[in-house]
Structure 1
Amino acid sequence: MNNDPKISVQVNPDEDTEWNDILRAHGVIPEKPPSPTQQLEEALDEAVKKQYENRLENKDLEELNELEDEEDEEFLNFYKQKRFNEIKKLSEKKKFGSIIPISKNEYEDEVTKASKDSYVIVHLSLQSNLQSRLLNSLLQELSKKFPELKICEIPAQRCIENYPETNCPTLIIYHNENVLKQYITLTQLGGNSTTLKDLEKVLVDLGAINENDKRLVINDEDEDLQESRRLRFAKKSIRNNDQDDDDDDDDFYD
């Protein structure tokens, strides 16, 4: 006769009881999963902590120097050294600073192969085209502002035989020997109203310029001057729409 009958006991493993704690400690029932509220609170705490730890991440040297009386010296020096290293690395890349005219025979070396080490921007140009002259002007500004970018220019039909004039200007952006982006005319960038900021946005999106780069904030032209330029090019577009300046084009490049 069995004198040790076993009694089945129903246990709710989700309950917070002392008995359940004992069972969990002995592996009889699984550990209670954390509540969604608890997980959310922990995630928020971690986000706040990370934000505080990285509060100096996007500050430049001048802003860091202003915090000397507010921040821990060792912590502040870490970010200062980081900024120094970034400035040094950037200065080593600053080797262009102007538009580089190239020929068809130079294209592979000056553009495709060169894009292994830097971002390369190519303008397939047509001097008689209004938008091409506008783009050339903007690329001149861009080259001075971001001299680490290699910007090349070649007359479209000298690069590709019988290249349609209606495709000019063509803007091509290379990196790691690949074409990242191509624009046929400035239609997608803003047409005759395209600005330096439009080009900068494209380059930020492609990773050619860091979105936190302070140079993006510094504009060489105020809004009134940009509007004046936009109107000037718009008037020229209407006036020269039907004119053919191929001879001028040859004089310009020869």
Structure 2
Amino acid sequence: MNNDPKIPVQVNPDEDTEWNDILRAHGVIPEKPPSPTQQLEEALDEAVRRQHDNRLENKDLDELDALEDEEDEEFLNFYKQKRMNEIKKLSEKKKFGSVIPISKNEYEDEVTKSSKDTYVIVHLSLQSNLQSRLLSSLLIEIARKFPELKVCEIPAQRCIENYPESNCPTLIIYHNENVLKQYITLTQLGGNSTTLQDIEKVLVDLGAINENDKRLVVNDEDEDLQEFRRLRFAKKSVRQDNKDDEDDDDDFYD
């Protein structure tokens, strides 16, 4: 019979000792968790690696051509081919390019069902309304710049009987036969000062336009030019309102 007394030994599993290494190797104590500093360093290293691996992700063909002397040929050609495939795919989608006027009877086919294959933007309009005229002008530009998007317009009261004029303009965006977003007037977008960039931001947020798309207004227009266009539209609208008032006066005396 073994009468040797057994003396309990306290072990701190977090210590870096040779004895603890032996115990960990035999599964007696658990592996020591990595320190927060080590985890942070590993996360930073991984972020730097991903950034390096994806350094060509958002460059267009011209920018890639300019890197021929700096990048590995095979790596560069991979991104060139990827970019050409994206351009081809986008070209196949470019089938609109202008605002499409629709009737109530066409709404289901031209908007709801059509949104299964693309994003559809609908303007319920009222041409006597300043914001509606502003939105019409902005959507003409959206349709021209992004012909893969389907932009439709229908007078609100022809679409929905007795639709309140105070709800005009109404902007509705469909995809996969569902309404993704709806704006009653332009209050949430900038009111009478709504810009093309405001509309584009909505479309980027909804996934209708890629945030790195070179066609976005933020990439090719400065704020001064946008302000000039806004003021020009406002002056044009004032002249139109004055003309409408004169026409109303003429009608009164007829």
The alpha-carbon deviation at position 184 of structure 1 amounts to 1.2
The range that moved more, 183-192 or 221-230, is 221-230
The alpha-carbon deviation at position 60 of structure 1 amounts to 0.6
The alpha-carbon deviation at position 243 of structure 1 amounts to 8.7
Q: In the alignment, which residue of structure 2 is the partner of 1:21?
A: 21
1:91-127 Cα deviation digits (max 9, x unpaired)? 0100000011111011001000111110000011112
Matched, 1:218 2:217: no
Alignment RMSD (CA, Å): 2.2
| Cα distance in 2 for residues equivalent to 1:170 and 1:243 | 28
What percent of counterpart residues are identical?
82
**Letter of the 2:60 counterpart:** D
**Letter of the 1:123 counterpart:** H
**Letter of the 1:91 counterpart:** S
Q: Closer, same or farther in 2 for the Cα pair 1:140/1:190, shift >3 Å?
A: same
Q: Closer, same or farther in 2 for the Cα pair 1:36/1:121, shift >3 Å?
A: same
Instruction: Tell me if structure 2 keeps the 8 A contact 1:112–1:178.
Output: yes
Q: Which runs of 4+ in 1 moved over 4 A?
A: 236-245
Instruction: Tell me if structure 2 keeps the 8 A contact 1:128–1:244.
Output: no
Q: In the alignment, which residue of structure 1 is the partner of 2:126?
A: 126
Instruction: Tell me if structure 2 keeps the 8 A contact 1:192–1:233.
Output: no
Q: Which of these residues, 219, 228, 231, is aligned with residue 231 of structure 2?
A: 228
**Letter of the 1:218 counterpart:** D
Gapped runs of 5+ residues in structure 2? 249-254
1:189-235 Cα deviation digits (max 9, x unpaired)? 11221111111011011111000000012349933532432541563
Q: Closer, same or farther in 2 for the Cα pair 1:44/1:244, shift >3 Å?
A: farther
| Cα distance in 2 for residues equivalent to 1:182 and 1:229 | 27
Gapped runs of 5+ residues in structure 1? 246-254
The range that moved more, 160-169 or 236-245, is 236-245
Instruction: Tell me if structure 1 keeps the 8 A contact 2:56–2:64.
Output: yes
Give the alignment's TM-score, normalised by structure 2: 0.90
SS in 2 for 1:85: helix
Give the alignment's TM-score, normalised by structure 1: 0.90
The alpha-carbon deviation at position 165 of structure 1 amounts to 1.3
**Letter of the 1:235 counterpart:** V
The range that moved more, 159-168 or 5-14, is 5-14
Q: Closer, same or farther in 2 for the Cα pair 1:236/1:45, shift >3 Å?
A: same
Q: In the alignment, which residue of structure 1 is the partner of 2:5?
A: 5
**Letter of the 1:122 counterpart:** V
SS in 1 for 2:123: strand
Matched, 1:86 2:86: yes
Q: In the alignment, which residue of structure 2 is the partner of 1:69?
A: 69
Q: In the alignment, which residue of structure 1 is the partner of 2:45?
A: 45
Alignment of 1:1-254 (within 5 A): 2-216=2-216, 217-219=219-221, 222-223=225-226, 225-232=228-235, 235-236=238-239, 239=242
Instruction: Tell me if structure 1 keeps the 8 A contact 2:119–2:149.
Output: yes
1:153-194 Cα deviation digits (max 9, x unpaired)? 111111111111121111111011111111111121112211
The alpha-carbon deviation at position 240 of structure 1 amounts to 7.7
Q: In the alignment, which residue of structure 2 is the partner of 1:250?
A: none
Q: In the alignment, which residue of structure 2 is the partner of 1:249?
A: none
SS in 2 for 1:215: coil
